[in-house]
Each structure stands twice: as structure tokens, then as C-alpha cells.
Amino acid sequence: MGQGMARNILKKGWPLSVLAHRSRTAVEALVAEGATEVTSARALAEASDIVVLCVTGSPEVSAVTEGPDGLAAAGKPLVVIDCSTSDPAQTVALASRLAAQGITLIDAPLGRTPKDAEAGTLDVMVGGDSAIVDRIRPLLEAFAGRVVQTGPVGTGHTMKLLNNFLSMGYAALYAEAMALGAKAGLSPQVFDSVIRGGRMDCGFYQTFMKYTLERDRDAHKFAIRNALKDTSYLAAYANAVQFANPVGAAVRNSFAAAVGAGRGDDYVPMLADFIAEANGVSLIEKD
């Protein structure tokens, strides 16, 4: 996601400094296109007025903002836009701590896929003060096709968790339905011939089934362990507000079982293989 977002920021004429999170290849490509590389979060803050974070979750956001060489160590006013999928309660607490140091935290998690990041057509859910959101909107629109302000800080991350609850819920349903169908002798091809083009079809279904039917591993590149992280954040939020969420618990447990079985680095559509194998069937069509 981050590389596509950064490339669009550059294309729209914004000066850009970049800090590597995981991929040297991505940073080197961005530097070749005009970005400047820095080697610490503190240096990134020193070179910037607005910092966009795209990391895994709340622990990583806290580390890059409050760590010994983090953004706050620069000792200057900043707007930090957190595009990660984080725990809303931790986001609100972090925003309060950073505000005491002159740093404004905005939560702006993302919808859609890395392909949309490249195309500049991501969905962005933004939580924060309206005046600050208006100020940063032109930057968000450099990589977003749709920007939706959700309310105060923390509501963007809450909405993202609800969005991911729906999508990961679909994944768990598809996986279980196809495995049960396979028990009855119904192949994924037959399953798809009924669902595709009907009322239960959608874009998520199509990328999920592109793996199931065509074995395209890159059809939906979102790891099962990240699905478990997000559904766990939702469970924590539900517990915090004393809300009974039995469906959410069931969805989370599907991913927890896969991670526990060593399948956390698989992508979400591969949950279908895990559920099928656990029930003694295969979704791979035999020649």
C-alpha cells in the first residue's frame, strides 16, 4: 500500500521524504522517482510538516511515534496521519499523549487494495478535527478516490474495523460454505456458477474466488494473521463497550484456528483451503 500511496503523492507534486518499514525495493524505487530517504522517524519529522504512517497496527504506530528516535523526539509541531489499521482505544490514548507535545494525530485507515493504491483510488476513513481534516484533504486526495470523514479521532479506525469485520466475515462464510459443499460433492466451480452474477456476488467475492478457482496467490494479498489482528481489535472494542458480538467471535475464531495451525502468512482466500482440509475435503479440482 505504502509504495503506491507515496508514488501518487510524488506525482501530484508534493515534496516527499520516505522511511523504510519493510521493503528496500520500494524505497529505492521511490528515491529514483524523486523522494528523499531518511533513516529514522525523528529525521522524518524534522524534514516534514505532515507525516503519513502505513504500518501494521497500534504497537508499530506507538513505536514510530513515541520510540527513542521516534517522531515526537523531533520536538516540533506535526500532523501525523495514521493509515494503519489500529485499535481505536489505543489511537485515542495516543492522540491525547501526542497532543501534549504539539502533535496532532489523525486516523485515516484505508479501504480497497494495493492496486487501488497504485491507481490513486483508495477509500480513506478519516477521524479527527474538521479543520485539520480540511487542511490535509488535498494530500489525502493525492492517493484516494474517496475520503469520508467519520467523526472525531478514533472513529476512522472504528469504521475500518467494521469494514474488515464484514469482509473477513464474507471470507469465513465462503470458506465454510465451499467446504460443506465439497462434503456433498459440490465443487467450487459449481458453487461459483450459482453465486457469480447473482445478488450475493461482489468485488470481494470475485478476488476471493480468483484464488479458489484459478489458484492465483496474489488475487487478494492480505495475510490471515492480519485478519486475526483486525478481528481481535474488534473483539477488544466490543468488550470495552460491553457489546455482545457472537458473529464477530466466530469469524475471529476461523482465522485464529488457521494462525494456530501455522497458516498465518497465507493470504485470506487460502482460509478456504484450511477449512476444507480440516474437514477432510479438497477444493482443488481433480483432472
Q: Which residues are catalytic?
A: 160
Helix axes 203-214, 271-278, angle to 10 degrees: 60
Residue type, 85: T
Residue 266 gets which letter from DSSP? S
Q: For residue 233, what is its C-alpha cell?
A: 481489535
Our measurement of the distance from residue 182's CA atom to the centroid of its chain's CA atoms, rounded to an integer in Å, reads: 31
Q: How far apart are CA 106 and CA 81, in angstroms?
A: 5
Close Cβ partners of 220 (under 8 Å, ≥ 6 residues apart): 113, 204, 207, 208, 210, 211, 267, 268, 269
Beta strands in 154-273 (DSSP E): none
Our measurement of the distance from residue 93's CA atom to the centroid of its chain's CA atoms, rounded to an integer in Å, reads: 21
Q: Is 144 helix (H, G, I), strand (E, B) or coil?
A: strand
DSSP secondary structure of 231-242? HHHHHHHHHHTT
Q: For residue 226, what is its C-alpha cell?
A: 492480519
Close Cβ partners of 114 (under 8 Å, ≥ 6 residues apart): 1, 4, 221
Q: How far apart are CA 237 and CA 243, in angstroms?
A: 8
